[in-house]
Amino acid sequence: MLTDTELVLPNFTELRIYPSFTEIRQQYNAPKNFTIYFSRDVFSNIARGSLSIEGVPIESKQIVPKANNLENQTIFVQRHSNEEPQECNVIQTDGLLLQNIKTKRYFHAQRHEIEYINIPEQEGTEVTYVLKHQGKATLSYQIHGITWSPQYDLSILSDDCQHMFQAFAEITNGTKQVYRIDQTELLGGDIVLQRDVASKRRRDRSRSRSRSSSESSDEDDEEFDSCDITPAVGEPGELAGLYRYSIDQPFVLLAKSTFGLPFINATIQVSKYVGLTLPFTSHTQIRKLQRKYRIESIDKFLPGGPLTIRE
């Protein structure tokens, strides 16, 4: 039986990494009052309106910022190295207005002068869902700050182009959160959050109005009405250019780190040739031939990325 005061950890975490954002899906054994805490750095990168719960009906949701509230707490202040720390009460967190317990006098302090008795609370955001009942629930949200890019290594072993080819996916976590990943999906191609598309259209309309002040208000209204703000992703035609790669290997994605692992086994053909580019001129020119490679994947699509060739 789950209680509302227990720290609930995810049973399974899945990343779906698109070129411009990442969807995080975490499965929980959720209590009826299900609370999740996000640090300020992580919550600021979450796409607005993307937090959702699947699997259990929701009765209500509450989002509350959690500041580092020190009010009415006892701390020590050491203003000079040759003085004993002063025991104080925090009167106001903003501006750090303190009261010296011995003298009863009030003063302002700097944060670097403070010594804490307890570990101060981290600033962040607390999200609480009231569920219809406890059970298995999936928390999902879209976040900026986690990206991936392909990287390729090609070693040419002989003159007849015998080779060894490796493809790596480099996953970069730009947030301060550590993620323990059970499954990863890497998606190539481009898919844009609808709010970004709407913002671009508004900017385009603004430029258009600044260039031509003769447009009628009716035309502006018609253009605004054509902007669909229904929460969705991308244009339907863009989905055809989306490529999916699945990684079932669990790993830990540390904060502010990059993790690389093989993500595709492709059979490629390699051929070498030389090329020379000459501008049209009536004079004799002396140039050096350039070594070039033609690389073609036979069985898999390879998204664009840096390629290192060793020969």
Domain span including residue 110: 74-116
Is the pLDDT at 268 greater than 60? The verdict is: yes
In a domain, 105, yes or no: yes
Q: Between residues 119 and 114, which one has the greater pLDDT? A: 114
In a domain, 68, yes or no: no
Question: What percentage of the chain reaches a pLDDT higher than 70?
Answer: 80
Q: How many distinct structural domains can be found in the chain? A: 2
In a domain, 230, yes or no: no
In a domain, 87, yes or no: yes
In a domain, 106, yes or no: yes
To the nearest 10 degrees (0 to 180), the angle between helices 217-225 and 194-211 is 170
Kindly report the backbone phi and psi dihedral angles of residue 54, in degrees, each rounded to the nearest multiple of 5, phi listed first: -120, 150
Q: pLDDT tier at 31 (50, 70, 90 boundaries)? A: very high
In a domain, 301, yes or no: no
What value does the mean pLDDT take over residues 193-208? 53
Q: Last residue of a domain, which of 54, 85, 116?
A: 116
Average pLDDT in the chain: 80
Distance CA 278, CA 22 (A): 46
Q: What is the pTM of this model?
A: 0.65
pLDDT in tens, 229-263: 332 222 323 345 678 888 888 999 999 999 988 88
What value does the mean pLDDT take over residues 2-21? 77
* Chain centroid offset of residue 244 CA: 18
Q: pLDDT tier at 191 (50, 70, 90 boundaries)? A: low
Is the pLDDT at 132 greater than 50? The verdict is: yes
Place of tokens 């060894």: 164
In a domain, 26, yes or no: no
Q: Between residues 238 and 277, which one has the greater pLDDT? A: 277
The per-residue pLDDT for 7 is 59
